[in-house]
Structure 1
């Protein structure tokens, strides 16, 4: 089982690279935001708990998010070559809890890869994306800079956690998409289990 944490500030190209990695390694994309929305839409117990908290303006506890990830792991473990984690973990306690959960599935995080792009380049990219995305936070420079600051603060903590396990790698996120993808794959291939297959199947959607 191949499990990857892919980090990158907004505008770093993480979404593009995620889709290529999903196809290359037969991974399931686990986005905590998508999981929350799916559980809420399905009216599950975890979803109802999350919605109640969100409606009250409160953060969803780590245990609720971990429960959703656990459900997704169990739903896809028979067919997936592994998982790519997006938006989680963002804190050291979350990383520790994720390690505990994966250990229960006789697995673990193989590597964390962070795409690095300078703030001015990110601002330029997101303002350009904002012309078509329709997202207000892609059209306001102050909001963009705030998002980058939050990302950098979060990543610094989690990067240190994985660096202590020799699993953290930073890559330059500026350059041709395929070149960056090749560099990511080279790192993953150094960490992936010997039994991991690479069927290069089509993008797999997570079963929430």
Structure 2
């Protein structure tokens, strides 16, 4: 699909795909493509990202009336009804595709009423291009010690802003269960409870963050990086976040949040001795605590995190400190208030 697209438009797309310095510096206006959501995604995957997308909208009867002059036989003056039918078919195809097209460009889109004088249409489009800067696709990184609520806040951000929730641990487990050669290699480390080498983790992360959904919708990453080298490697592979938040709270609260939680093996629900106690003595009696939630293990993980906090902040000097020792809703509001201002 990419090669087919690149051959059209007098080689203009060839210049875009090949990163022509002149085109990238001066900017470009693309018309006639894409015509489908799949074509739009193909362009985006190839790195052809539009800062502004304008949809010129008008009723079908207006469009037919405008093209009537193009449907007259110059010799007889009679209407060429075959051409009219072709135009109707083209408009029908467009109507079938326009919703998907608009969803592919929802973060950079403006619909302009084309059923008005050309000068007015032009001014509206020009004003949109000159005054509206497309916000950067959010690439959010959540840092914080165990128990700071990174998973919960990532899920909430992803749900509200349609970003992709990328939990490094879950991603590794998913790949390990996939049966690929890479998955088999990762599985051996997880099964033996050994750390997965950074080279494998980065390979998995780069593949996931490079997919179309992450490129278009943005992503929120948590569970990686843990140290200076991992942070630099994330930058080196071109997946640098543009919004970094540090969820922080005291070691005592971290231990309390994790070591006092347990899971009901029957329902799968998770309870907490202080904030969400079991609903009955029967449920409480069968609760199980994961080995990694043991207070000693949690304390060691927190100490390891604290060891690398300063170096992580040196890589991400613009990281915003968020007080995570608050109720989850308040923490989310603090994150949300800064999401569009970075």
Q: Where does residue 45 of structure 1 map in the other structure?
A: 181
Q: Against the structure 1 CA distance between its residues 51 and 188, is the aligned structure 2 distance closer, same or farther, given a 3 Å change threshold?
A: same
Q: Where does residue 148 of structure 1 map in the other structure?
A: 302
1:177 aligned to which of 328, 333, 336: 328
Q: Against the structure 1 CA distance between its residues 58 and 36, is the aligned structure 2 distance closer, same or farther, given a 3 Å change threshold?
A: same
Count of matched residue pairs? 183
Shift of 1:10: 1.7
Q: Where does residue 127 of structure 1 map in the other structure?
A: 259
Q: What whole-Å deviation, never above 9, does each CA across 1:18-77 have from its counterpart, x for those lacking one?
A: 111111221112122112111111112221222345567754322211111122123343
Shift of 1:113: 0.7
**2:311 aligned with 1:160:** no
Unaligned runs of 5+ in 1: 192-208
Q: Where does residue 204 of structure 1 map in the other structure?
A: none
Q: Against the structure 1 CA distance between its residues 145 and 59, is the aligned structure 2 distance closer, same or farther, given a 3 Å change threshold?
A: closer
**2:238 aligned with 1:102:** yes
**2:250 aligned with 1:118:** yes
Larger Rg: 2
Unaligned runs of 5+ in 2: 1-136, 264-270, 272-287
Of the two structures, which has the highest relative contact order with CA contacts closer than 8 Å and spacing of 6 or more?
Answer: 1
Q: What whole-Å deviation, never above 9, does each CA across 1:81-122 have from its counterpart, x for those lacking one?
A: 11111111112222222123236xxxx311221111111122
Q: Where does residue 202 of structure 2 map in the other structure?
A: 66
SS at match of 1:102: coil
Shift of 1:190: 1.5
Structure 1 CA distance for aligned equivalents of residues 203 and 247 of structure 2 = 28
Tell me the TM-score normalised to structure 1 length. Answer: 0.77
SS at match of 1:190: coil
SS at match of 1:84: strand
Structure 1 CA distance for aligned equivalents of residues 292 and 226 of structure 2 = 20
Structure 2 CA distance for aligned equivalents of residues 8 and 177 of structure 1 = 14
SS at match of 1:130: strand
Q: C-alpha root-mean-square deviation of aligned residues, in Å?
A: 2.3
SS at match of 2:153: helix
Contact 2:151-2:167 at 8 Å conserved across structures: no
Q: Where does residue 27 of structure 1 map in the other structure?
A: 163
Structure 2 CA distance for aligned equivalents of residues 84 and 78 of structure 1 = 9
